[in-house]
């Protein structure tokens, strides 16, 4: 097997290196515009502080992978989710409350909110869909709807990308989104740039992702991020395999026995810190 030429975009470092740096804003802009309807086209983006604090001591903080705002004041949270976890949907809904609440104005205010988009790139598939067509879908777009299926509120949108369901090969790529998903899913395996995604934007993305262009400090940070990604995946897979019949407490105990960080166990299981400490 050839040594990887490009970063693994499913690592924290790799994802933010490609999409989360100011110099790479055109890449994120292009990706989001490929994902959103034409009517919602973004002209410009501004990166915002990705750490959000609650308004009281009782509120927990939220740390987003990428948090940005377009020229109309609409907010975009972009999250990379590497492993399945309990209460994942609840967490993304909780995250959406921060950009909603930060729009509150002091004094008289008419509650006219800007749109909020929460986008999750998932390295796993949901397991609670009952209908066969949905099981193979890559893009899931969710809005608030009433009992008749009509949109009740159109300014809050959740978009989930189930990357394992993306199975198109190079010759089958048609849309801009197809090309971005192909890039994300196969980046670490590429040795050369495929001709079909060799335009100016993707060429810049490949250049930013090329390991040979990293300085020593960046390379060390990436190698550590890659190790964490692989270790966490291996430990989580092991915990799930050995705990299938015993439930989430057994999963948490296995993770704890393997020396995993408490915050990671909370993220993977949905248990509280107190519950984990009792194990």
pTM of the complete model: 0.80
Model pLDDT, residue 63: 82
Note the pLDDT tens digit of each residue in 262-275: 887 887 777 788 77
pLDDT at 47 over 90: yes
- Show the CA angle centred on residue 54, arms to residues 52 and 58, nearest 5°: 140
**CA distances (Å), 210 to each of 19, 52, 89, 104, 187, in order?**
14, 31, 33, 42, 10
Q: What percent of the chain has pLDDT over 70?
A: 87
Using DSSP, state whether 251 is helix, strand or coil: helix
Residue 105 CA to residue 121 CA, distance in Å, equals 32
Distant-in-sequence, close-in-space partners of 163: CB < 8 Å, separation ≥ 6? 121, 122, 123, 138, 181, 184, 185
User: Average of pLDDT values for 196-204?
Assistant: 95
Note the pLDDT tens digit of each residue in 86-144: 778 888 999 999 999 999 998 889 999 999 999 999 998 886 554 455 568 999 999 99
Number of CB atoms found within 10 A of residue 46's CB: 11
Residue 9 CA to residue 188 CA, distance in Å, equals 7
Note the pLDDT tens digit of each residue in 133-172: 556 899 999 999 999 999 999 999 999 999 999 999 999 9
């Amino acid at each position: 097997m050839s040594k990887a030429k490009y970063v693994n975009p499913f690592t924290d470092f790799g994802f933010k290196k490609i999409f989360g740096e100011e110099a790479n804003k055109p890449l994120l802009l292009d990706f989001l515009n490929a994902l959103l309807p034409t009517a919602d086209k973004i002209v410009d983006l501004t990166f915002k502080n990705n750490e959000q604090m609650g308004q009281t001591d009782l509120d927990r903080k939220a740390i987003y992978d990428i948090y940005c705002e377009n020229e109309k004041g609409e907010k975009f949270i972009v999250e990379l989710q590497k492993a399945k976890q309990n209460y994942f949907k609840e967490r993304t809904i909780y995250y959406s409350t921060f950009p909603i609440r930060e729009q509150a104005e002091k004094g008289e205010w008419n509650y006219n909110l800007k749109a909020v988009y929460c986008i999750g790139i998932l390295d796993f598939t949901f397991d609670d869909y009952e209908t066969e067509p949905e099981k193979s879908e890559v893009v899931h777009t969710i809005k608030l709807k009433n009992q008749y299926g009509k949109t009740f509120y159109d300014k809050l949108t959740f978009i989930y990308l189930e990357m394992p369901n993306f199975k198109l090969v190079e010759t089958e790529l048609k849309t801009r989104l197809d090309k971005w998903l192909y890039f994300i899913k196969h980046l670490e395996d590429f040795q050369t740039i495929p001709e079909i995604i060799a335009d100016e934007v993707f060429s810049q993305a490949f250049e930013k992702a090329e390991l040979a262009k990293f300085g020593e400090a960046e390379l060390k940070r990436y190698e550590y991020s890659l190790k964490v990604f692989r270790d966490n995946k291996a430990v989580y897979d092991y915990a799930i395999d050995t705990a299938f019949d015993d439930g989430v407490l057994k999963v948490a105990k296995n993770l704890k026995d393997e020396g995993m960080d408490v915050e990671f166990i909370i993220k993977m299981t949905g248990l509280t810190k107190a519950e984990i400490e009792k194990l």
